[in-house]
């Protein structure tokens, strides 16, 4: 299985500040069709996960442009600028290039 | 509005079977692949598997393939997860999800809690 290593585990931030989360895969996430299936989810306290970014850098419908995704191959980053209270929660990366699909262990974004 | 509502969770004894359901609304269910994902009490997320829009094809996590079965009834807009010979490590919240392109889960249910204990 592809191992997704997500760092940091916990990320204290100030409101209005910037946050950066890293996700590294144990093998390349470039599919044979040329696409890279790396996605980011946010799970707010007490809620189900919600899609933020799909295929590395595409913001899902309704996701503010404060969220941006980047990366290639095995190394990916989610950046959140101007952090707002509703951004707090657990962030997960997911790869769906290789079966079985695998998640990172999560990063808890919390107030400093 | 897209809605996914899971049911069928609860307390179950080790070795027993359990079937979860997920009723979909707000979209044409038969147009979408669907998945099951679980989250352990320690917050670890695990993909269980998915099923093609017409039910003709499924993929599973190899570690669960022998005990879990995903099916669907498009006439009822319902997704199912049949769990057999459950173990304590199956204790988790089970989510059904709608998939757009390969593995992109763009809608999630509220989750069904399953506790395996004697």
Q: pLDDT by residue (tens digit) across A78-94?
A: 999 999 999 999 999 99
Q: In this complex, do B103 and A96 lie within 8 Å of one another by their Cβ atoms?
A: yes
**What is residue B20's predicted lDDT score, i.e. its pLDDT?**
98
Q: Other CB atoms closer than 10 Å to residue A14's CB: what's the count?
A: 10
The partner residue sitting opposite B102, judged by closest CB among A37, A49, A100, is A37
Rounded to whole angstroms, how far apart are CA atoms A85 and A81? 12
Q: Is residue B102 pLDDT above 90, yes or no? A: no
Q: In this complex, do A48 and B109 lie within 8 Å of one another by their Cβ atoms?
A: yes
**What is residue B103's predicted lDDT score, i.e. its pLDDT?**
87
* Residue whose tokens read 């707000």: B26
Peptide bond into A8 cis (omega under 30): yes
Q: What is the largest CA-CA distance in chain A?
A: 42
The count of C-alpha atoms lying within 13 angstroms of the C-alpha of A95, restricted to the half-sphere facing its C-beta, is: 29
Q: How many angstroms separate the CA of residue B84 from the nearest CA in chain A?
A: 20
Whether residue A93 lies within 8 A of chain B, CB to CB, comes out as no
**What is residue A43's predicted lDDT score, i.e. its pLDDT?**
98
**What is residue A24's predicted lDDT score, i.e. its pLDDT?**
98
Peptide bond into B61 cis (omega under 30): no
- B91 token code pair: 């204790």
Rounded to whole angstroms, how far apart are CA atoms A89 and B83? 30
The partner residue sitting opposite B62, judged by closest CB among A41, A90, A100, is A100
Residues of chain B positioned with their CB less than 8 A from the CB of A99: 59
Q: In this complex, do A51 and B105 lie within 8 Å of one another by their Cβ atoms?
A: yes
Whether residue B61 lies within 8 A of chain A, CB to CB, comes out as yes
The distance of Cα A98 from the centroid of its chain, to the nearest Å, equals: 17
- A68 token code pair: 């941006």
**What is residue B108's predicted lDDT score, i.e. its pLDDT?**
98
Q: In this complex, do A31 and B103 lie within 8 Å of one another by their Cβ atoms?
A: no
Express each pLDDT in A23-71 by its tens digit: 999 999 999 999 999 999 999 999 999 999 999 999 999 999 999 999 9
Q: How many angstroms separate the CA of residue A17 from the nearest CA in chain B?
A: 26
Binned at pLDDT 50, 70 and 90, residue B51 comes out as very high
**What is residue B6's predicted lDDT score, i.e. its pLDDT?**
98
Q: In this complex, do B59 and A90 lie within 8 Å of one another by their Cβ atoms?
A: no
* Residue whose tokens read 């994902």: B37
Q: What is the mean pLDDT of residues B35-64?
A: 97
pLDDT > 90: what percent of chain B? 97
Express each pLDDT in B52-72 by its tens digit: 999 999 999 999 999 999 999
A25, A90 Cβ separation under 8 angstroms: no
Rounded to whole angstroms, how far apart are CA atoms B68 and B54? 19
């Amino acid at each position: 299985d592809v191992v997704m290593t997500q760092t940091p585990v916990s990320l204290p931030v100030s409101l209005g500040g910037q946050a950066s989360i890293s996700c590294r895969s144990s093998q390349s996430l470039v599919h044979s069709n040329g696409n890279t299936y790396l996605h980011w989810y946010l799970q707010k306290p007490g809620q189900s996960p919600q899609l933020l970014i799909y295929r590395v850098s595409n913001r899902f419908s309704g996701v503010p442009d404060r969220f941006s995704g980047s990366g290639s191959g095995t190394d990916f980053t989610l950046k959140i600028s101007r952090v707002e209270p509703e951004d707090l929660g657990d962030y997960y990366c997911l790869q769906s290039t290789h079966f079985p699909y695998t998640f990172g262990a999560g990063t808890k974004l919390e107030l400093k | 509005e897209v809605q996914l509502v899971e049911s069928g969770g609860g307390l179950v004894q080790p070795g027993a079977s359990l079937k979860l359901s997920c009723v979909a609304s707000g979209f044409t269910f038969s147009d979408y692949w669907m998945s099951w994902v679980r989250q352990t009490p320690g917050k670890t997320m695990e993909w269980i598997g998915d099923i093609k829009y017409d039910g003709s094809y499924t993929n599973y996590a190899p570690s669960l393939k022998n005990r879990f079965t995903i099916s669907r009834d498009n006439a009822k807009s319902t997704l199912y997860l049949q769990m057999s010979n459950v173990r304590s490590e199956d204790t988790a919240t089970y989510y059904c999800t709608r998939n757009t392109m390969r593995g992109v889960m763009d809608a999630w249910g509220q989750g069904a809690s399953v506790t395996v204990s004697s």
